[in-house]
């Protein structure tokens, strides 16, 4: 909502009636925008200016909510709520006696009330907004703080159970000397002349369309200072160093990115803080590995254990060891599943322990072991294992 709406007839700018439909307004805007677009009229300043006015008009009456408030303001002026109508210098241009702008809107010395109170909502009133002595400064919009990126390294067991870690963060923050205003402490701001306190400007984006962009002069703050803050040189920004406690959830994977809401840089003008994104690095384990949400382990076994069957005790990360029963005739490389001994998933369920048996071949045999292997070879001599490889297919 902008005060200059009072003296601007956006319907006339687009050449439509006040009761025109949204479609009629859109058609009129597109027609005028095409005819006056800077790309089609290089060097024609008059058409360039017309294009800006057409875009500004459509930005207001092309939006149902803005159009409703704009019509309310214009109606009050047309019905005499503003004596003397709209004149070149504001009000009182209708030939009769003039009216002081501040008197009408509740300004001027100790006077209180006035039409300024009626327009509190329409013009963003309240302390520091709208018209008159109490309403000359727009209220800056809340701005969300910046998101912050960091990384952390945790142990394999910590990834299984979850862990709380301390993080030292350095992030963007409001300048401590000017509190984010960008102005020299002790000086007063004034309304940005570029955007007239709106915080944005209307720019064309090609064709018959335009869009609102953050004002390049005030950066969306709506206000500017003639003297910049010597600490931040007018940017309004500084750095903040702090230590926070961050909870890394159970089951986190290596290189997983965790979002911690509201743990980023502080917001401006009462805006919410940004978020913190932590990339987690998990150190490998000496015994265990990971596959999805399952723990993995390679179990060394002897040839006789696979042939005759055996029992093997396996370690776990979540409690006491478990016993793995290997049935007779188990092939080398088979994987057994032990339920509920893996990583915790986000839904509360738990993965498994995957144990893969691997035959260990001794490099040296004593006399008795060697004799036993030779006896086994002799017993299997009539059952060659590679006969099928030599058969013609």
Query: Can you say which residues are annotated as belonging to the binding site for Zn(2+)?
Result: 175, 178, 192, 195, 215, 218, 229, 232
Q: Which two tokens stand for residue 385?
A: 């294992």
Residues 6 and 105 sit within 8 Å (Cβ to Cβ)? no
Residues 315 and 308 sit within 8 Å (Cβ to Cβ)? no
Q: Which residues pair with 88 in a beta bridge?
A: none
Residues 249 and 162 sit within 8 Å (Cβ to Cβ)? yes
Q: How far is CA 317 from the centre of its chain?
A: 36
Cα(71)–Cα(53) distance, rounded to whole angstroms?
18
Annotated binding-site positions: 175, 178, 192, 195, 215, 218, 229, 232
Q: Quote the Cα angle for 232-236-242, to 5°.
A: 85
Q: Which residues pair with 280 in a beta bridge?
A: 152, 256
Q: Which two tokens stand for residue 365?
A: 């045999």
DSSP strand pairing (237-248 vs 163-174): antiparallel
Q: How far is CA 234 from CA 181, 226, 269, 384, in A?
A: 8, 10, 16, 88
What is the 8-class DSSP label of residue 3? G
- Tokens 């965790």 — which residue? 258
Burial class of residue 200 in the structure, from the number of CB atoms within 10 Å of its CB (0-12 exposed, 13-18 middle, 19+ buried): middle
Classified as helix, coil or strand, 383 is: coil
CA torsion through residues 303, 304, 307, 310, sign: negative
Residues 147 and 263 sit within 8 Å (Cβ to Cβ)? no
- H or E element, residue 76: helix 64-78
- Tokens 């002799």 — which residue? 378
């Amino acid at each position: 909502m902008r005060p200059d709406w009072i003296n601007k007839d956006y319907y006339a700018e687009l050449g439509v009636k006040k009761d025109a439909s949204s479609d009629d307004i859109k058609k009129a805007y597109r027609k005028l925008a095409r005819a006056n677009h800077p790309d089609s009229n290089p060097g024609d300043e008059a058409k360039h200016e017309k294009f800006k006015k057409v875009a500004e008009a459509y930005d207001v009456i092309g939006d149902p909510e803005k159009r409703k408030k704009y019509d309310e303001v214009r109606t009050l002026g047309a019905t005499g709520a503003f004596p003397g109508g709209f004149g070149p210098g504001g009000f009182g241009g209708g030939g009769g006696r003039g009216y002081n702008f501040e008197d009408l809107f509740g300004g001027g010395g100790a006077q209180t009330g006035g039409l300024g109170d009626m327009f509190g909502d329409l013009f963003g009133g309240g302390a520091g907004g709208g018209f008159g002595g109490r309403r000359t400064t727009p209220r800056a919009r809340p701005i969300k703080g910046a998101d912050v990126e960091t990384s952390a390294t945790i142990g394999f067991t910590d990834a299984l159970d979850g862990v709380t870690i301390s993080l030292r963060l350095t992030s963007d923050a409001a300048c401590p000397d000017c509190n984010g205003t960008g102005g020299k402490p002790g000086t007063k701001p004034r309304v940005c002349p570029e955007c007239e306190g709106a915080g944005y400007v209307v720019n064309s984006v090609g064709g018959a369309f335009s869009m609102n962009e953050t004002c390049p002069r005030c950066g969306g703050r709506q206000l500017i200072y003639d003297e910049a803050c010597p600490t931040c040189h007018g940017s309004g920004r500084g750095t903040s160093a702090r230590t926070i406690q961050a909870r890394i959830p159970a089951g986190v994977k290596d290189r997983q990115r965790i979002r911690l809401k509201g743990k980023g840089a502080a917001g401006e003008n009462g805006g919410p803080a940004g978020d913190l994104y932590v990339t987690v690095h998990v150190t490998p384990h000496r015994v265990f590995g990971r596959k999805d949400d399952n723990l993995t382990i390679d179990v060394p076994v002897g040839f006789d254990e696979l042939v005759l069957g055996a029992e093997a005790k396996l370690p776990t990360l979540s409690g006491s060891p478990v016993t793995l029963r290997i049935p007779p005739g188990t092939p080398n490389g088979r994987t057994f599943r032990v339920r509920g001994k893996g990583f915790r998933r986000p839904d509360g369920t738990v993965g498994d322990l995957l144990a893969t048996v691997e035959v260990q071949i001794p490099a040296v045999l004593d006399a008795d072991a060697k004799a036993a292997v030779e006896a086994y070879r002799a017993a299997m001599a009539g059952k060659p294992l590679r006969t099928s490889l030599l058969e013609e297919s």
